[in-house]
Amino acid sequence: MPDPAIVPISPTLPTLPAPPAHLLCVVAARPNLMKMAPILAALARQAPTLRVTLLHTGQHYDPAMSGQVFADLGMRAPDIALGVGSGNHAQQTAEIMRRFDAVLGELQPAPGAVLVVGDVNSTLACALVAAKRGTPVIHVEAGLRSGDRRMPEEINRVLTDQLSDLLLTSEEGARANLLREGIAPERIHFTGNVMIDSLRQQLPRATPPAATLRTHGHACPGAYGLLTLHRPSNVDDGAQLAALLQALGQLSSQLPLLFPVHPRTRASLRQAGLESLLARHAITCLPPLGYLEMLGLMQAARLVLTDSGGIQEESTALGVPCLTLRDNTERPVTVAEGTNTIAGTDPATIVALARAILDTGGKRGRIPPLWDGHAAERIAAAIVPWLAARRALP
């Protein structure tokens, strides 16, 4: 007769509930925040038990370039800050990898995936560390290509996509780029442009241009163009920067220009002795602005002149004519369907194209497919079951 004090052991152990899935999300630069904020909100709505850790590498460390944007977007502070700071491409990428590797090795529970956005050095560095550790990588804004391997961002885009397990695209042409590079079609999902989610959500809160100018001690012109320059190819060479500014100064006699100056550009202006050149023209220099200030200036501009990829997208969404001061773009849909025109960097061409826009009103374009303010919902709807399926694997 069995001893009643002894409980027989079941031949099968009870199934214990799996710990909640864990997703590590990486941001690094100002445009990353505009993409990540709606994704975090959508994940919280669709998968409230999903553990999401937000890591900021510190690649953009100036408060105006990053910290203010957190506040403007109502975004929670990062859980982890690497504080990497500046450096050349090799130094910065290596330091991000070193610090991120230590964090990824210590996080418990280990993340089921690392989510990266865009094409900055941090995007590639964190994707490379995750892939070498066997942690799946999710890339938001995959498949964008300029075809110009001289651009560091193009190298970052191509390599990040090769390392990624789930690739979420913002425009239809990105899929063809990825398939051509050997990415399996089942790994690609067209989810739309999540940066436009932030734009649509925050547009009612955009700061009026007069208020922005008043804050910085300037009167707001009745009509103006908005200028941004920060690409190394445009600002690191003093002669190239001087030629661009001469052309823009010529244009400013017809249309005053507002110029929020990127820290990199500010340093180049000083080094090349070009600050006095700006003072001779109707170009109002401003410090780096918050997201809501930039949104207000862009919405009311007659024309945008930029070398920024994100601003090409935002001006298309706002229906504002845009001249891209580069020889190519990784966002061709903004040219084919939107308001963007590739102007290149020849001064005479830039002035001629800008004056044609002022005379005719410029391209109005149309909003590309799935730039509808709901991309984050589609991104979350792709990620959540994908994570669940991976956790179910033996």
> What are the catalytic residues?
230
| Alpha helix positions (H), the chain | 30-46, 68-73, 89-106, 121-132, 152-163, 173-180, 195-202, 209-215, 232-235, 238-252, 263-272, 275-279, 291-300, 309-318, 333-336, 347-360, 375-391
User: What is d(CA 139, CA 158) in angstroms, rounded to the nearest whole number?
Assistant: 11
The CA distance from 228 to 325, in Å, is 9
Please state, in angstroms and rounded to a whole number, the distance separating the CA atoms of residues 281 and 257: 9
Q: Measure the CA angle with vertex 300, ends 228 and 280; round to 5°.
A: 50
Give SS3 for 341.
Answer: strand
Joined tokens for residue 268? 């180049």
* Secondary structure of 139-200 as H, E, C letters: EEEECCCCCCCCCHHHHHHHHHHHHCCEEEECCCHHHHHHHHCCCCHHHEEECCCCHHHHHH
Instruction: Report the distance separating Cα 62 and Cα 76, nearest Å.
Output: 18
User: Is residue 57 within 8 Å of 314, Cβ to Cβ?
Assistant: no
- Determine the angle formed by the axes of helices 30-46 and 291-300, rounding to 10 degrees: 110
Q: Could you tell me if 21 and 387 are in contact, meaning their C-beta atoms sit under 8 angstroms apart?
A: yes
- For residue 327, the SS3 value is coil
